């Protein structure tokens, strides 16, 4: 394996080694040489795949755990991460979380078909699924006592039956529609159900399984379950709430 050039002066995974490009020859040189981009720290060995002249993908490995595994980022981003910085996407999300949210155009708002209140702005919208938690009852029981045969293959049970009914929470799909996040509220417009949640009424935002955004609301016993890109949607709503609190 022959080194050809340095790709990243500092490895973004171990923060110690240098990521270099190597020329790897095949067995007996029958298939020519191939490129390998790898950290020279033997304890790390992080390997990258070139996706373009300016972008590398971090190949997942059992040797380490890294939140950027499988991601393709520009070399500038990898250099920034190696020095303790963030990727472009993380910087964008950080700005949103701090209250610097995007604003939809007038044409986009018209296409949504909603009437905005005075001073209201649409920050984001998208297709989601609305689910609700319902209690489902199930009955479990057993028979006690002997069985008497009265004919071939026919038995009569004697004794008593003991049964217990239990209720279990279960998520059920209610509707599919559009979730709209504004600087004043969160709206859902579906085929069968629609609702509005004022930002000031939101008491908690939780993410479950990356897809389920759970919105708890003041004065409402049941939480709303929104199936979407939950981490990103949570950041958008949190940013809108932060702006509301600072007004």
Convert the pLDDT of each residue in 33-48 to its tens digit: 578 999 999 999 999 9
Please give the residue that has the higher pLDDT: either 182 or 159: 182
Residue holding tokens 């033997």? 42
SS3 207: strand
**How confident is the model over 130-143, as a mean pLDDT?**
72
The confidence score (pLDDT) of residue 229 equals: 93
* Contact status, residue 73 vs residue 51, Cβ threshold 8 Å: no
Give me the chain's average pLDDT, please: 86
Cβ contacts of 70-79, under 8 Å, gap ≥ 24: 75/7, 75/8, 78/8, 78/12, 78/19, 79/8, 79/9, 79/10, 79/12
pTM for this entry: 0.70
Contacts of 92 (CB under 8 A, 6+ apart): none
pLDDT confidence tier of residue 162, bands split at 50, 70 and 90: low
Q: What is the tens place of the pLDDT at every residue in 138-155?
A: 655 555 555 555 455 544
Q: What is the tens place of the pLDDT at every residue in 84-93?
A: 999 999 999 8
**How confident is the model over 124-145, as a mean pLDDT?**
77
Cα–Cα distance list, 247 to 120, 177, 189, 209 (Å): 13, 30, 27, 33
The confidence score (pLDDT) of residue 171 equals: 87
Residue 164 pairs with which residues in a beta bridge? 140
39-54: b (≥16 Cβ within 10 Å) or e: bebeebbbbbeeeeee
Please give the residue that has the higher pLDDT: either 178 or 154: 178
N- to C-terminal Cα separation, the chain: 61
Alpha-carbon distance of 28 to 204, in angstroms, equals: 63
pLDDT confidence tier of residue 71, bands split at 50, 70 and 90: very high
- Of 58-67, 94-103, 145-154, 189-198, the range with the lowest mean pLDDT is 145-154
* Contact status, residue 243 vs residue 99, Cβ threshold 8 Å: yes
The confidence score (pLDDT) of residue 150 equals: 47
Q: Residue 218 above 90 pLDDT?
A: yes
**How confident is the model over 211-239, as a mean pLDDT?**
94
Closest CA to 99 of 121, 77, 114: 121
């Amino acid at each position: 394996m022959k080194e050809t050039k340095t790709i990243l002066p500092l490895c973004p995974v171990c923060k110690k080694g240098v990521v270099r490009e190597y020329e790897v020859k095949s067995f007996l040189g029958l298939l020519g040489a191939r490129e390998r981009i790898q950290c020279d720290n033997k304890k790390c060995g992080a390997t990258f795949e070139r996706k373009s002249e300016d972008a590398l993908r971090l190949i997942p490995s059992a040797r380490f755990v890294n939140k950027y595994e499988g991601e393709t980022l520009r070399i500038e981003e990898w250099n920034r991460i190696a020095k303790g910085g963030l990727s472009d996407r993380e910087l964008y999300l950080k700005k949103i979380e701090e209250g610097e949210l995007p604003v939809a155009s007038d044409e986009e708002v018209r296409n949504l078909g909603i009437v905005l209140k005075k001073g209201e702005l649409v920050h984001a919208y998208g297709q989601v699924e609305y689910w609700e938690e319902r209690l489902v009852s199930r009955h479990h029981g057993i028979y006690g006592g002997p069985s008497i045969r009265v004919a071939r293959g026919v038995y009569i049970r004697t004794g008593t039956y003991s049964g217990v009914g239990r209720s279990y929470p279960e998520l059920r799909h209610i509707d599919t529609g559009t979730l709209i996040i504004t600087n004043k509220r969160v709206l859902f417009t579906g085929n069968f159900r629609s609702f509005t949640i004022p930002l000031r009424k939101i008491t908690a935002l939780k993410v479950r399984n990356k897809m389920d955004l759970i919105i708890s609301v003041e004065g409402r016993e049941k939480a709303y379950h929104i199936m979407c890109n939950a981490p990103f949607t949570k950041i958008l709503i949190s940013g809108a709430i932060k702006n509301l609190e600072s007004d």
